[in-house]
Structure 1
């Protein structure tokens, strides 16, 4: 009889926990249902059309895997994995390059990546203090893959942003299982955006940031190539959307207290708020099927800073701004043990359209990361999602027609 009472009590506790979990999940789902991508608000940067999914996975064979970690009331982080193709990346490497806009960050594997101009692992994104755990877990996973028994060196590539506001970052909560699940769960198709994966606990322009993605397809006359972008946003500045001063209109932007204190007394003043200096970080991953070598991929990666600048970033002192670009084209792949590489790649004169596509896709991916993010509470803080109803009003005000 006593055991029966204990079972009933335990079941009651389980049912209560399950109900709370359901309500939390339902609330998150309801929030997500109310969000919108940039194009749904009438924001479509540039002149080239997006791919079918308007995502990095529009580049054939590129795969994305994400694991979101929300544990208790403190852990709000995750892992996002980008795989250039579905084969053995160590044996069939892709040319790649990393551009550092501002180097206040940790980007594991960057020196070898730029020295050799190639990727031999997937790209992982996570939180700052979990970089090395993620790198170790991916190295172990890679070494277990077929035809890797004799490998004695591996260069895991891992980028990060600091989500220590919403996330108990000092507990270093990313586990080897989370990394493996992200890698093994990587797929083509639609990419989840907003407060997911490595973007679970990030903040951008004072609002909830996260994962965003976009793509562009060049006209056949320009090669017909696809450029796809994925971003992890955790940076600041003075937000503008398609030129509209959204940050100023919403009263949330870098240095607003310093500026407001010098305005007439009748002007609004955000007293009591910390004067945000635009610090944080952003990671940009650019994929393309255009046959481009590592030298020109470095030029592509550098254009990411132009896309970030359009959104209002000034790459502040405390921001780690990194952009990695790679090509999936078969003609520029590099077999690990080949005595020589014979490749066919685009000439310099053919790069301009790829540059344009990259800048536009980076800009839109940042907007998508903001507009799709949901309000998140964790580690004793709450960061609100940017209010899309107000964004729509501001876009209308400045002549950008939002439906």
Structure 2
């Protein structure tokens, strides 16, 4: 097999893909927002179970009593998202966020509720609202088999840590597919200059969608001969369907996007921030097809806007609307780069019928260099 078809794990900046004008944080990850932790647990059993769980913890304290403001933005609602009616009603999170497979949200939510209720400080808590997002990894995973999901939830929560975040075919991204190639988990961050508040925005994505892949405006999907609607617009030259490529033919699939920031925002402006993440998704070539569930969950870790459920009066020091534009730019950039990382860091995953291979990185590198896009300082 030619080296250009083998693929190799690299982050986007190794290829010169550094969207935007703002600088990433230390790890170029959602964990650059102080206190945020991420944990993965991959479930791979037999010849057909290829899924996992990813946990995002907003801070290391009592999540139920020291709640963070949160919001949901729906780009296209073809999916299942557990716990969002209460999140939208109250504008806050009281549990970690979990990401998993489409039919795994209920056992995952139950395991998360048990994990929260088992904490000694929650002995008198009568109800809990777990928030669990999903994408359909049925191209590689037997989605009806939810073996090991509860255990994976506990493992992901136990492994949650700050610092560098594993990307690619791990955790909730183990069975996902993007644009007909192997997809996965990706992350990125941006730090605003001091003149704009010095705030950090971090993004974590679970990529499992299709469309017409482009990177920095370069039509990579078309150059590689794999893109949505190809059989309709170029039926003579269209290649034989690649394994796992069925969902990519019309751009179907889903994407979960989680945003963390230390900017003091409440639910209204967090929802506005989430809307801009969809712009980053679009820049990669997604048009949010009918069968695509594209959801954004955003939260603020800033202590000035946290909530205590027992408080009768809430006073918050929220950032004004005029200060939002730089954050909008930052989240658009970080989302685009996180999605590139999800693709570029993926490794091959096989089930009993096929192997889904990652994007051919060497070929992508040549296409980018031909347009003057050179490697950046790695982060």
Could you say which TM-score interval applies, normalised by the shorter chain?
A: over 0.9
Report deviation, 1:288. Answer: 0.2
The one-character-per-residue Cα deviations of 1:58-105 (angstroms, maximum 9, x if unpaired) are: 000000011011112211110000000011111110000000000000
Out of 309, 329, 333, which is 1:336 matched to?
Answer: 309
Q: How does 1:259-274 map to 2 (within 5 A)?
A: 259-261=233-235, 268-271=237-240
CA contact (8 A) 2:40 2:52 kept: yes
* Structure 1 segments of 4+ aligned residues over 6 angstroms from their partners: none
Tell me what 1:14 maps to.
Answer: none
Structure 2: tracts of 5 or more residues without a match = 1-5
Higher helix share: 1
Secondary structure at the aligned position of 1:335 is classed as: coil
1: CA distance, partners of 2:218 / 2:74: 27
Match of 1:313 in 2: 286
- Supply the distance in 2 between the matched residues of 1:74 and 1:36 (Cα, whole angstroms): 27
| Cα drift, residue 232 of structure 1 | 0.1
Is 1:322 matched up with 2:295?
yes
Q: What is the CA deviation profile of residues 152-185 of structure 1, one whole-angstrom value per residue up to 9, with x for unaligned ones?
A: 1111000000111111111112432211111122
Contact 1:209 1:370 (8 Å CA) reproduced = yes
Structure 1 residue 380: deviation in Å?
A: 1.7
Output the TM-score relative to the length of structure 1: 0.89
Quote the Cα distance in structure 2 between the aligned partners of 1:295 and 1:322: 16
Alignment of 1:363-382 (within 5 A): 363-382=336-355
CA 1:370–1:272: 2 relative to 1, 3 Å: closer
Q: Identify unmatched segments of 5+ residues in structure 1.
A: 1-30
Instruction: Give the superposed CA RMSD.
Output: 1.4
Cross-structure match for 2:368: 395
Q: Deviations over 1:352-378 (max 9, x none)?
A: 000100000000000000000001101
**TM-score after normalising by structure 2:** 0.95
Give me the whole-angstrom Cα distance separating, in 2, the residues matched to 1:355 and 1:185. Answer: 31
User: 1:195-234 alignment to 2 at 5 Å?
Assistant: 195-234=169-208
Alpha-carbon deviations, 1:114-144, whole Å to 9, x = none? 1100000000000011100000000011001
Report if aligned partners of 1:133, 1:174 keep a CA contact under 8 Å in 2.
no
Structure 2 distance, partners of 1:87, 1:255, is: 48
Q: 1:279 aligns with which of 246, 252, 257?
A: 252
Cα deviation for residue 269 of structure 1 reads: 2.6
User: How far does residue 270 in structure 1 lie from its aligned partner after superposition?
Assistant: 2.3
- 2:222 counterpart of 1:248: yes
What per-residue deviation string (whole Å, max 9, x for no partner) do you get for residues 304-348 of structure 1? 110000000000000000001000000000012111111101000
Could you tell me how far apart the structure 2 residues matched to 1:103 and 1:260 are? Answer: 30
Indicate the structure (1 or 2) with the bigger Cα radius of gyration. Answer: 1
CA positional deviation for 1:379: 3.9
Structure 1 stretch displaced more, 85-94 or 357-366: 85-94
Give the equivalent residue in structure 2 for 1:94. Answer: 68
1:345 to 298, 318, 337: 318
Alpha-carbon distance in structure 2 between the residues aligned to 1:356 and 1:128: 31
Q: Does 1:160 align with 2:149?
A: no
Task: Report which stretch shifted further, 229-238 or 270-279.
Answer: 270-279
Higher relative contact order structure (alpha carbons within 8 Å, sequence separation ≥ 6): 2
Task: State the number of aligned residues.
Answer: 367
Deviation at 1:145, TM superposition (A): 1.0
> How many Å separate the matches in 2 of 1:352 and 1:326?
17
Task: Say if 1:204 and 1:234, in contact at 8 Å, map to a contact too.
Answer: yes
- Which structure 2 residues correspond to residues 90-239 of structure 1 after superposition, within 5 A? 90-239=64-213
Can you list the C-alpha shifts for 1:232-273, whole angstroms capped at 9, x where unaligned? 000000000010100000001000010103xxx6xx232567
| Aligned with 2:20 (options 33, 39, 46) | 46
